Structure 1
Amino acid sequence: MNAREQADAHVRAMMRWHFGPATGSRYWLERRNRLGFDPVEDVRGVDDLLMFPNLVDELRDVPVEDLIPRGLDPDEKVFAVYESGGTSGAPKRFVMFENWFDQYMAWENAHYPDDGQGHTLAVAPSGPHMLGEYSRRIARARGGIRFAIDLDPRWVKRLIAAGDTAGAAAYVGHLVEQAELVLRSQNIAFLITTPPLLARMAEHAGVRALIQEKVRLVIWTGAHMDPDTQDYLAAEFFPKAQFRGSYGSTSVLSGTVQRADPDGTGDTVFDSYAPFVIYRVVDPATGLPVEEGAQGAVVMNYLTPYGLVPNSLERDLATRVLGPEGVGDSLRSVHPVAEVDGRKMIEGVY
């Protein structure tokens, strides 16, 4: 079978697993009869995932034990329950299993074998957010120690929503000051942070000089960064460091790998871990895929034995790039939508 045929077979296997009485979770078994179609009979491949409604908002209130598939081996361990950033309302919760985290990180790290060794500084959320553990595993794979500066992105968004821009700026300044202390005293080779925080660090002369002196690689994630901003930061402030983006979502418990833009525009292109994580770029009015090179809304699908999250509509727009080997879509020019359900979206620092 080619890659697309294998992906279609994987989709069918996951439908049988998650909707089988002996293997599926309580949530999906109870939800099956209210879908309006039979997922086992009707979902025959990748394209048919678009039949699912966007049910991710229901995960704000579902008891997490209802999301665990019954068919998993008792030795499979829940590593954590991660939450979305809360940008569009109360956070949604997703169950991370240790074996899935190991599998995903092995895939991502295999695409970046030449980073070398060194310590990592993560100025990023921890707590209920996946990025904290992600940064620890990035550091471990590179033979170094992770130093962490924690941030609460929801607090920043609350300050911005209340019009307290001074309070938000003071909080971000507090984070940058802490980062300076680590950078000044430790041999940091890798920096993981969000684009708004990186921009703030670039404005701080002391922090900027330390990054210029020590950091070989900047991994940016958690918020969008347009090509002009990335080029400006890389050329004007941190010309010795490589830049790498990682776009992902808690809804699919994973991120992406970055590849060169095939059209040569300088934009970052993100590939998902297909067939376990499949992206689609769709017309938000119809839910149907847009043409290659057109912009649309990002839809994500998480299809593993550990969980099922189909057709999750993200708060981002992107340009559609054909996925590797014809499985799903890849994303270029990712940026957040301005509003969701009439409510202005606040990206903040994450």
Structure 2
Amino acid sequence: MNSGESVLSADIQAKAQAAKDKLDQHAYETVQWHFHESTGCPFWLEKKKELNFDPLTEVKNYEDIQKFPLFEDDWLRGGPVRRWVPKAFENDPVYVFETGGTTGVPKSRIAINDFRTDYENFSHTLPDQYFPKGSNWLMLGPSGPRRLRLAVEHLAQYRGGISFCIDLDPRWVVKLIKKGWMEHLEEYKKHCIDQAITVLTAGHDVKCMFGTPKLIESLCLGLEERGTSLAEVGITGIFSGGTEFTPQWTRYCVEELFGGSPEESGIYMTPTYGNTLMGLACSKPVTADEGYKISYYAPQPRAVTEVVSFDDPMQKVAYGETGRVKLTTLTQEFFVPGFLERDEGEREMPFDKYPWDGVSGVRPFHGIASGTTVGVY
């Protein structure tokens, strides 16, 4: 038994067991799907020949996924991208989403409906009081080949609204930083914020938005310069994400930029942690009482995050201890066993709403942090 498990209430333990049973069944079905000749994708059917076990007979639950080697970054760099399309979906329209790519070939993944499913599930976690159904949205984040833009657009549509998007190329931002062209960087950021303010002040009745922490801050300051504020232009609900989401920034944002808690300012912000491979991990409600601590919980059973030892990625750390984030994605479209993320954090205990492990304090993994350029995030 890991430290901390003994202090879970009987109710949470029962919910955690039910969630584990569901995950075990889902993991079994996902592996059957990806490794069966009639439904699997060319990549995994080919990779099966190199494995020293048979996934179809030897993966019976989630733990058995540890039998796979760790998923390698480079498998997603370069094509042909169609090798990732499961045979069952080969006649369906396919999207390709890219991640990274600031240097060299970007990682890419195929998607058919995963992004819609992920964001519909996420939609059910949003409080309607602050994210009213039928409201229009602003997408203040990266555009181009990234999943986020289409996903936020679908979220808006699913909730009965229309999404307004700005044009933002984070790869250009990273190049500006690397070249030390800070004046250009400032102008580009201003260009993005100008687009956002134009939308917000054009009478489109936008009440909800997505934004990265740095851009939300810039937007608030840009509105202040014009003698107005987020609340005054009608924003009530903000969905945000990015590694810059720290308790310190959240406190500053809520207390200084928004003007207080949702009850005081009328603005509710929900942090998320996600990426092109995982989907979207929701956070436990963030409150001043808990020092604005942010704990994320993956969308099980479709994705699982574990906080593992820096020395042994097969070993989870104890609750409250620090480790590297390991991701496993389990959908019919995409199977990623044991991918070591570029992030580290602390392992958090299950709670009522998400009765499985979470991760808090997410930040760039110290082993590569010095080489990581965060850019607009």
TM (normalized to structure 2)?
A: 0.84
Q: Which residue of 1 aligns with 2:360?
A: 332
Deviates more, 1:155-164 or 1:35-44: 35-44
Secondary structure of the 2:280 match is coil
Cα distance between partner residues in 1 of 2:226 and 2:199: 10
Q: State how far apart, in whole Å, the 2-side matches of 1:6 and 1:139 are.
A: 29
Aligned residue type for 1:193: G
Any idea what SS the aligned residue of 1:15 has?
helix
| 1:189 alignment partner in structure 2 | 207
Corresponding residue number in structure 2 for 1:235: 255
AA matched with 1:231:
R
Deviations 1:84-139 (A, max 9, x none): 133575311111112x3332222111122522142211111122101101221222
Shift of residue 338, structure 1, vs aligned partner: 4.7
| TM-superposition CA deviations, 1:138-181 (whole Å, max 9, x none) | 22233322111121011111111122222212111111122121
Alignment pair present for 1:97 and 2:129: no
Aligned partner (choices 66, 77, 84) of residue 60 of structure 1: 77
1:266-317 CA-to-partner distances (Å, cap 9, x unmatched) read 2122222211111111112210211111121111111111121111111111
Contact conserved, 1:123 with 1:192, CA < 8 A, in 2?
A: yes
Tell me what 2:230 maps to.
Answer: 211
Change (3 A) 1:229 1:12: same
- Give, in whole Å, the separation in 1 of the partners of 2:304 and 2:273: 13
Q: Does 1:274 align with 2:288?
A: no
Q: Establish whether residue 10 from structure 1 lines up as the match of residue 26 from structure 2.
A: yes
**Following superposition of structure 1 onto structure 2, how do residues 129-140 of structure 1 map, counting pairs within 5 Å?**
129-140=146-157
Q: Look up the match of 2:96.
A: 81
* Number of the residue aligned with 1:295: 322
Contact persistence 2:270–2:285 (CA under 8 A): no
Describe the shift of the 1:268–1:83 C-alpha distance in structure 2 as closer, same or farther (beyond 3 A).
Answer: same
Q: TM-score, normalised by structure 1?
A: 0.90
Q: 1:207 to 1:139 in 2, by over 3 A?
A: farther
Report the Cα offset of residue 35 of structure 1: 3.5
Letter in 2 for 1:228: Q
1:225 to 1:85, Cα distance in 2 relative to 1, 3 A: same
Distance 2:84 2:173 in 1: 30
**2:275 matches 1:256:** no
* Aligned-partner residue type, residue 362 of structure 2: V
State how far apart, in whole Å, the 2-side matches of 1:193 and 1:10 are. 32
Cα distance 1:314–1:88, how it changes in 2: closer, same or farther (>3 A)? farther
Q: Supply the distance in 2 between the matched residues of 1:280 and 1:88 (Cα, whole angstroms).
A: 28
Amino acid of the structure 1 residue aligned with 2:293: D
Structure 2: 5+ residue stretches without partners: 1-16, 260-264
Q: Distance in 2 between matches of 1:49 and 1:349?
A: 35
Alpha-carbon shift at residue 324 of structure 1 (Å): 5.7
Query: Whole-Å Cα distance in 1 between the matches of residues 227 and 213 of structure 2?
Result: 14
CA contact (8 A) 1:277 1:302 kept: yes
Consecutive unaligned residues in structure 1, runs of 5 or more: none
Instruction: Judge conservation of contact 2:248–2:292 (CA < 8 Å) in 1.
Output: no
Counterpart residue type for residue 210 of structure 1: S
**Are 1:112 and 2:126 counterparts?**
yes
1:328 CA drift (Å)? 5.4
More divergent stretch after superposition (287-296 vs 40-49): 40-49
CA distance in 2, matches of 1:197, 1:242: 16
2:4 is matched with none
| Aligned length in residues | 345
Mapped to 2, the partners of 1:26 and 1:335 lie a distance apart of: 34
Question: Which residue pairs with 2:244 in the alignment?
Answer: 224
What is the CA-CA distance between 1:27 and the residue it aligns to?
Answer: 0.5
Q: Structure 1's 24 and 164: CA in aligned 2 closer, same or farther, altered over 3 A? A: same
Residue 173 of structure 1 aligns with which residue?
190
Q: Secondary structure at the match of 1:310?
A: strand
Cα distance in 1, alignment partners of residues 99 and 316 from structure 2: 25
Is 1:322 matched with 2:340?
A: no
CA distance in 2, matches of 1:160, 1:54: 30
Q: Is the 8 A contact 1:201 1:208 kept in 2?
A: no
Q: Percent identity?
A: 29
Indicate the residue corresponding to 1:309 in structure 2. 336
Is the 1:180–1:206 contact (alpha carbons within 8 Å) kept by the matching residues of 2? no
d(CA) in 2 for partners of 1:66, 1:323: 36
Give every structure 1 segment of 4 or more consecutive aligned residues whose post-TM-superposition deviation is greater than 6 Å.
Answer: none
In structure 1, how many angstroms separate the alpha carbons of the residues matched to 2:326 and 2:356?
Answer: 10
Q: Given that residues 276 and 302 in structure 1 are in contact (C-alpha distance below 8 angstroms), is that contact kept between their aligned partners in structure 2?
A: yes
Q: 1:152 is matched with which residue?
A: 169
Larger displacement relative to structure 2 (316-325 or 297-306): 316-325
